[in-house]
Structure 1
Amino acid sequence: MHAMQYEFTLPADYDMGVIRSRVARVGHLLDDWDGLGVKTYLLRERGGVHGSPVNQYGPLYLWNTVEGMNAFLWGGAFQGTVNDFGRPCVRQWTGLAYAEGDTAGSPATHAVRRRQPVPDGVDLAAFMGDSADETERLAAHDGAVLVAAAVDTQAWELVHFSLWDRSAPKAEGDVYQVLHVSAPGRGALPHGRQW
């Protein structure tokens, strides 16, 4: 599993209806993308329900294959986003763990992303093992749809990403509204630890 995200921080007075309309228009285009596990179309709205300080559009992907990810980035699909918003920094993390929640079949309404540094001096095997175990713990909460953990070994940053149904998210971090989920290869995402 590979995790990937890019974000566009938009002006404070930006009409976020433009993003909602865009996702309604193009969100289905990845509903059958080969190599894609899950793509979530995510939105944070300044002053919204969860107190976001910014207006932000930040799709997050869980890929089953590098070929699928590369076909998206270099095969033309990503160019539409670049044309509309400019070329963003695309963050990538190597998968650590994946778990389905108790409401795996429910539509997700919220997502939470928590990024944290991997501290210097820690035992990497123990730290990553604890992070993988946390994925299972989060997935056991009522309302969890799915939970993934991944790491960027250049920046030594861990990310936990979770989707939640209509109940309040039980995870800490940046809270997003979920506008659409494309999940053609969700069933093929490897469950549990990725090592």
Structure 2
Amino acid sequence: MIAMQYSLVLPADYDMSIIDRRIRDRGPLLDGFPHLRFKAYLAARKQDAGFASGENLYAPFYLWDEPEGIDAFLSSPGFAAVSRDFGWPSVQTWLVRHVELTANLAAATFAARETVPIAPYSDLASQRDSAVAEAKSAIAAGALAAVAAFDPTKWMMVKFTLWPNLPELVRETMQLYTVGHISLPNEL
């Protein structure tokens, strides 16, 4: 599995209802997309209810079963439309270490993403074990999904969770988002 995200920083005075409408209108188009485990359509506003983001963002997060899914999406008219409307984004990818998904994933209303550097010469096996334990702990605390992944080219780890409500444990290193839609495979 591969996790993927691009984050589009929007002007401070951007009308975020445009993003809400885009998610509402186009979100279902990726339901059942080949090799997609889920896509979380995410947004953050400078001033969101209950939490503040430093910027206005549109930042969808994807979990792919196969790399062919990433290629198909990035080559699609949908991604071409994103690039045309907002510019050519930098697409981050991470190799997935562990995933926990619940049956009611579509009920997510909030997401949290934390990226942390991996120190040189770290015990990667121990970090993997800790990431698995943290993912399981997040699910036990009420998360609907928990993804632990890493990028060995930049030596960064990402921890991504989906929640039915605003998560209680929020750290300064986390970016919080509202979830507008979750695209899932047809069989889920």
Tell me which residue corresponds to 1:28: 28
Query: Structure 1 106/41 Cα, relative in aligned 2: closer, same or farther at 3 Å?
Result: closer
Matches of 2:148 and 2:187 in 1, distance apart? 15
Query: Structure 1 85/171 Cα, relative in aligned 2: closer, same or farther at 3 Å?
Result: same
Amino acid at match of 1:42: L
Tell me which residue corresponds to 2:4: 4
Tell me which residue corresponds to 2:150: 151
Number of matched residues?
A: 185
Is the CA contact 1:110–1:169 (under 8 Å) kept in the aligned structure 2?
no
Tell me which residue corresponds to 2:80: 79
Corresponding position: 1:181 with 2:182: yes
Render the CA deviation track for 1:147-168: whole Å, top value 9, x for unaligned: 0111010000000000000353
RMSD: 1.7
Query: Structure 1 137/107 Cα, relative in aligned 2: closer, same or farther at 3 Å?
Result: same
Is the CA contact 1:64–1:185 (under 8 Å) kept in the aligned structure 2?
no
How far the C-alpha of 1:109 sits from its partner, in A, is 0.4
Is the CA contact 1:106–1:165 (under 8 Å) kept in the aligned structure 2?
no
Amino acid at match of 2:107: P
Partner-residue secondary structure (3-state), 1:32: coil
TM-score, scaled relative to structure 1: 0.89
How far the C-alpha of 1:96 sits from its partner, in A, is 0.5
TM-score, scaled relative to structure 2: 0.92
Render the CA deviation track for 1:74-128: whole Å, top value 9, x for unaligned: 2333111111111100000000000135x73561000000000011232111112
Query: Structure 1 177/81 Cα, relative in aligned 2: closer, same or farther at 3 Å?
Result: same
Tell me which residue corresponds to 1:16: 16
Identity %: 35
Amino acid at match of 1:184: P
